[in-house]
């Protein structure tokens, strides 16, 4: 059985270190694990209950919900913006939390990792993302964490997939995440 993990990257910037971290996870995923990096968060409108109705759900929201529903687990990659998670990631969580009690994240094993410019690697943003996905109904996997500090200098000339310490950290998180996927 292949475990399918959907990666949501909270940075839309070309050359994002968190996007590169997601690429490293996909490239170095253990045998039996496949990671898809979701593209499309930029097209997702801000959550608005007025447009989250049976006849008006935006197609971008439907695509995101379907992609998460089809995955066995979710892995969020969060930078830290002004001490918290980026709006694009929070917005995706909001769309995935609905309908209340039956959203696409309901009981879905979900972990959060990331890298940031500061000395703590985005731990505040990651903690906020864990809180939000937990409230949204996900099964938060948080016994193994990965927050990589000083992204601008650490990854200035090295892609995260070439950083042995980063790859080892990703493996630990992926092992923990896949261990929380129910057997088929």
DSSP string, 114-132: EE-SSTT-SHHHHHHHHHH
User: pLDDT (tens digit, 9 = 90+) per residue, 19-68?
Assistant: 999 999 999 999 999 999 999 999 999 999 999 998 999 999 999 999 99
pTM over 0.95: yes
pLDDT digits over 54-85, tens only?
899 999 999 999 999 999 999 999 999 999 99
| DSSP-derived secondary structure letter, 41 | G
pLDDT value of position 84: 96
Does position 163 have pLDDT exceeding 80, yes or no? yes
The percent of residues in the chain predicted with pLDDT above 70, rounded, is 100
The Cα angle at residue 37 between residues 41 and 2, in degrees rounded to 5: 135
Tell me what the pLDDT averaged over the chain comes to.
96
Contacts of 50 (CB under 8 A, 6+ apart): 56
Query: Quick check: 132 pLDDT over 80?
Result: yes
**Per-residue buried b or exposed e for 114-130, using 16+ beta carbons within 10 Å of the residue's own CB:** bbbebeebbbbbbbbbb
pLDDT the model gives residue 1: 84
**3-179 CATH choice from 3.40.50.300, 3.40.50.360, 3.40.50.720, 3.30.110.60:** 3.40.50.360
pLDDT at 148 > cutoff 80: yes
pLDDT given at position 183: 87
Alpha-helical regions (H) of 71-119 = 87-96
Say if residue 184's pLDDT is above 80. Answer: no
Q: CA-to-CA distance for 149 and 137, rounded, in angstroms?
A: 29
């Amino acid at each position: 059985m292949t475990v399918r993990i959907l990666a949501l990257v909270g940075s839309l910037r070309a050359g994002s270190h968190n996007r590169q971290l997601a690429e490293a996870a996909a490239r170095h995923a253990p045998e039996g694990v496949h990671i898809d990096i979701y593209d499309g968060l930029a097209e997702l409108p801000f959550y608005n209950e007025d447009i989250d109705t049976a006849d008006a759900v935006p197609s971008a929201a439907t695509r995101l919900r379907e992609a998460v529903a089809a995955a066995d687990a979710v892995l969020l990659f969060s930078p830290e913006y002004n001490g918290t998670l980026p709006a694009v990631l929070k917005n995706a969580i909001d769309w995935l939390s609905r309908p209340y009690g039956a959203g696409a994240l309901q009981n879905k094993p979900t972990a959060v990792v990331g890298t940031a410019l500061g000395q703590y690697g985005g731990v505040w943003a990651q903690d906020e993302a864990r809180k939000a996905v937990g409230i949204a109904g996900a099964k938060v996997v948080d016994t193994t964490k990965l927050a990589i500090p000083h992204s601008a200098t650490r990854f200035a000339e090295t892609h995260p997939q070439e950083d042995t310490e980063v790859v080892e950290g990703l493996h630990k998180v992926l092992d923990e995440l896949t261990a929380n996927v129910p057997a088929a």
